[in-house]
């Protein structure tokens, strides 16, 4: 085990009660968690299978597990659970299937599936604007917030202030009924259903509390109400728990995260011990002084101040630009000049911004200067149409009742089935209370549809049934998956629809990547019971393929990303663009008076920088097709002046000075110099 500082060591060794590790940015929290797991196994003799650690991303979970495995022999880590909250929830539902309203082959709806289902329900109810993305997005947000706050459909209306929003409460009830009818869950259900089972079933609760003898939670400040309740129910009154978090980095309120969960810990666990990790191993002192100075303007549950032994470092540069065009050109040219002068790698540089649109002009400048860059937050792997199509084939094999997957693939490729045929099929399924796929094989369908349409649907059902049987029985399912997709003619469609040879290559490469990922998941699984197509498809629905792809790609590029996307990362040289009111802080936060979260976002941005930090602002910015004069961000005035190199401000201050005072200062400086001589 590597050497820990005194505070980290204290956090690692404390196991006699609940512990909150208040871990500032760059303070080595992952080392504390991983070494604490190793300490529990090696020195405290906890069996690995009795320890559970949860975090928020697949990447963080993989890194954490790999680090623990590097500290201990493999036989000692066997059975250790290190996963995301959603992976843990999925495993819980599989173990406790009999205590859920689900059947064994339940499917997981992604956000796209949920939106499509809600749109169908809204159209069915003749709601005005049913096909509006904005209205569907609003409905999704309401329902997700209710679920994360553990509010049942029948109680949802009581939480509303605007009577017009009652339609969303009605939709919530309808949406839940349809999910159960499809034998499906959405992502929120993976947390909410286990929480409700633990709340209502004492036998299950006692079993899981006995099973998990120690629990560790990473990024605790990002937990929502349901996640907090889940943790509390799993650890019980004894509080065999370590949570690691930083309230100053809570930037996901829009996703339901509640930094106030930190205060609840003290209330629910009166014996809570708090250890602060304030030594930063990432940044220079000037950068940390800037971060501390900005965040001190927020109210705090727990106070802390980051410090570093890496020296003062360079002054933080604030650069005023004439316009957003000028800003983009300036940043691009500064990066290439800095790299040529110092011989650094492109990956040492990052440009951060509040909103995605800010990257457009910068991209054009980088391309013009032939600077390689990577834009984070692009289309997710699973959002690509070819991946969603193939995943829908796999989902319906996993769950024949998955009507959402059925509707996506029944005409992919085209099978000559029009909307009228599918409407009749849907009504038949509803009348007989069976799935769309089951309806295709039902003899009664001959009375509803013409022979040609009936035989097409019947052949489709036989095709799915054949491959379902084959895939479940075959020990090597990947070649069979390929054969199934080839047999549909889907690959030919991809080739014929591609507008360019490069587009064709990209889409075929994506499909090959999916096959490779299925194989990799099978190969990586230690548990033989999970080396089957059913377990793999479940995992794939949760897997963040984009993260894996980015790790495998050439990373020697300049990094462009939003401040939200930068959390957890670090770079030697950082530019933060757009330090203007209504951009950072964002206009919505000014209107809704949620400036504190924007200030935390600023804090996150500052603490990404290791060696040098530059912030830019434009006097004019294009908005809605016209140039508008901007106002500098209030956060710039919260920075410590002694640590700034801000030429425009110095110039302004000089211009505002009384000429008489300037002359007096000049004379005083000369006299001081003469005295020294």
- Cα distance between residue 596 and residue 188, in whole Å: 26
CA-nearest of 541, 291, 513, 276 to 391 is: 541
pLDDT tens-place string over residues 124-140: 666 666 566 778 888 88
- Cα distance between residue 22 and residue 244, in whole Å: 6
pLDDT band at 387 (very low <50, low <70, confident <90, very high): confident
pLDDT at 275 over 90: yes
- Cα distance between residue 371 and residue 364, in whole Å: 10
pLDDT of residue 547: 46
Instruction: Return the SS3 of 209.
Output: helix
pLDDT tens-place string over residues 594-644: 899 899 999 999 999 999 999 999 999 987 668 899 999 999 999 999 999
pLDDT at 345 over 70: yes
3-state secondary structure 613-663: EEEEEEEEEEECCEEEECCECHHHHCCCHHHEECHHHHHHHHHHCCHHHHH
pLDDT at 295 over 70: yes
pLDDT band at 2 (very low <50, low <70, confident <90, very high): low
Contact 188, 234 (CB under 8 A): no
pLDDT at 474 over 80: no
Distant-in-sequence, close-in-space partners of 224: CB < 8 Å, separation ≥ 6 = 148, 149, 191, 255, 256, 257, 258
- Cα angle vertex 537, ends 535, 543, to 5°? 105
pLDDT of residue 548: 45
Q: Taking residues 286-308, what's their average pLDDT?
A: 90
Q: Taking residues 76-84, what's their average pLDDT?
A: 90
Q: Taking residues 566-580, what's their average pLDDT?
A: 93
- The mean of the pLDDT values for the chain is 85
Contact 189, 111 (CB under 8 A): no
Distant-in-sequence, close-in-space partners of 305: CB < 8 Å, separation ≥ 6 = 278, 292
Among all residues, which ones are annotated catalytic?
29-30, 218-219, 249, 608
Tokens of residue 16, six digits: 């006699």
pLDDT at 284 over 70: yes
pLDDT band at 544 (very low <50, low <70, confident <90, very high): very low
pLDDT band at 456 (very low <50, low <70, confident <90, very high): very high
Q: Taking residues 273-300, what's their average pLDDT?
A: 93
pLDDT of residue 630: 93
Higher-pLDDT residue of 478, 214 = 214
Query: What DSSP letter does each residue of 343-410 carry, written as one string?
Result: T--GGGEEEEESSGGGHHHHHHHHHHTT--EEETT---GGGSHHHHHHHHHHHHHH-TT-HHHHHHHT
Higher-pLDDT residue of 1, 651 = 651
pLDDT of residue 527: 58
The answer to which of 84-88, 290-294, 608-612, 669-673 has the lowest mean pLDDT is 669-673
pLDDT of residue 403: 82
Percentage with pLDDT > 70 across the chain: 89
pLDDT at 1 over 90: no
- Cα distance between residue 648 and residue 618, in whole Å: 12
pLDDT at 56 over 90: no
Distant-in-sequence, close-in-space partners of 334: CB < 8 Å, separation ≥ 6 = 575, 614
Task: Output the CA torsion 399→403→404→409 (10° steps).
Answer: 90
pLDDT of residue 131: 62
Q: Taking residues 642-663, what's their average pLDDT?
A: 72
pLDDT at 177 over 60: yes
pTM of the predicted model as reported, rounded to 2 decimal places? 0.76
pLDDT at 552 over 60: no
pLDDT of residue 546: 39
The answer to which of 223-232, 401-410, 526-535, 626-635 has the lowest mean pLDDT is 526-535
pLDDT tens-place string over residues 227-260: 999 999 999 887 789 999 888 887 777 777 777 7
- Cα angle vertex 615, ends 613, 618, to 5°? 165
């Amino acid at each position: 085990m590597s050497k820990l500082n005194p505070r980290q060591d204290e956090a690692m060794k404390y196991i006699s009660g609940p512990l909150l590790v208040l871990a500032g940015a760059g303070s080595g929290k992952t080392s504390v968690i991983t070494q604490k797991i190793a300490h529990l196994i090696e020195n405290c003799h906890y069996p690995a299978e009795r320890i559970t650690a949860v975090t928020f991303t697949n990447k963080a979970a993989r890194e954490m597990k790999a680090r623990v495995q590097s500290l201990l022999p493999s036989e000692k880590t066997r059975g250790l659970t290190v996963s995301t909250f959603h992976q843990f929830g999925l495993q819980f539902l599989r173990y406790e299937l009999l205590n859920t309203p689900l059947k064994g082959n339940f499917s997981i709806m992604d956000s796209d599936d949920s939106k499509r289902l809600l749109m169908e329900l809204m159209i069915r109810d003749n709601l005005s604007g049913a096909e509006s993305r904005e209205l569907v997005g609003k409905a999704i947000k309401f329902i997700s917030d209710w679920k994360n706050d553990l509010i049942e459909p029948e109680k949802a209306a009581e939480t509303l202030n605007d009577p017009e929003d009652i339609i969303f409460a009605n939709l919530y009830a309808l949406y839940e009924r349809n999910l159960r009818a499809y034998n499906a869950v959405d992502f929120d259900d993976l947390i909410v259903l286990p929480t409700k089972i633990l709340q209502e079933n004492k036998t299950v609760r006692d079993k899981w509390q006995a099973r998990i003898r120690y629990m560790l939670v990473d990024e605790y400040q990002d937990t929502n109400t349901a996640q907090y309740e889940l943790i509390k129910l799993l650890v019980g009154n004894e509080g065999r728990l370590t949570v690691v978090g930083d309230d100053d980095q809570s930037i996901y309120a829009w996703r339901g995260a509640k930094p106030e969960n930190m205060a609840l810990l003290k209330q629910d666990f009166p014996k809570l011990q708090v250890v602060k990790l304030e030594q930063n191993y990432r940044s220079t002192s000037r950068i940390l002084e800037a971060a501390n100075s900005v965040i001190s303007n927020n109210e705090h549950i727990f106070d802390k101040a980051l410090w570093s032994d890496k020296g003062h470092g360079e002054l933080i540069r604030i650069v005023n630009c004439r316009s957003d065009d000028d800003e983009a050109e300036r940043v691009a040219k500064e990066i290439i000049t800095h790299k040529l002068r110092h011989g650094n790698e492109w990956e040492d540089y990052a440009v951060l911004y509040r909103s995605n649109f800010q990257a457009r002009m910068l991209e054009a400048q980088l391309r013009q200067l032939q600077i390689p860059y990577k834009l984070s937050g692009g289309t997710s792997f699973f959002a690509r149409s070819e991946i969603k199509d193939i995943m829908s084939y796999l989902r319906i094999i996993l769950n024949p009742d998955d009507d959402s997957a059925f509707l996506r693939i029944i005409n992919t490729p085209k099978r000559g089935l029009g909307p009228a045929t599918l409407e009749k099929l849907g009504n038949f399924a509803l009348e007989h209370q069976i799935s769309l796929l089951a309806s295709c094989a039902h003899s009664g369908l001959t009375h509803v549809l013409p022979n040609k349409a009936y035989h097409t649907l019947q052949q489709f059902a036989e095709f799915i049934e054949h491959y379902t049987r084959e895939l479940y029985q075959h020990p090597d399912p990947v070649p069979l998956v390929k054969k199934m997709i080839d047999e549909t003619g889907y690959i030919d469609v991809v080739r014929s629809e591609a507008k360019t040879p490069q587009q064709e290559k990209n889409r075929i490469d994506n499909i090959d990547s999916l096959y490779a990922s299925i194989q990799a998941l099978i190969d990586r699984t230690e548990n033989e019971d999970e080396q089957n197509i059913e377990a793999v498809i479940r995992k794939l629905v949760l897997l963040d393929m984009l993260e894996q792809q980015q790790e495998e790609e050439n990373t020697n590029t300049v990094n462009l990303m939003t401040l939200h996307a930068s959390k957890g990362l670090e770079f030697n040289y950082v530019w933060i663009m757009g330090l203007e009111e209504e951009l950072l802080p964002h206009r919505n936060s000014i209107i809704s008076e949620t400036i504190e979260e924007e200030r935390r976002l600023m804090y996150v941005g500052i603490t990404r920088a290791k060696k040098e930090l530059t912030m830019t602002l434009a006097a004019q910015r294009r908005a809605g097709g016209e140039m508008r004069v901007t106002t500098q961000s209030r956060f710039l005035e919260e920075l410590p002046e002694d640590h700034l190199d801000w030429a425009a401000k110095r110039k302004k201050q000089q211009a505002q000075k009384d000429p008489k005072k300037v002359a007096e200062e000049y004379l005083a400086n000369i006299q001081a110099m003469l005295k020294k001589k």
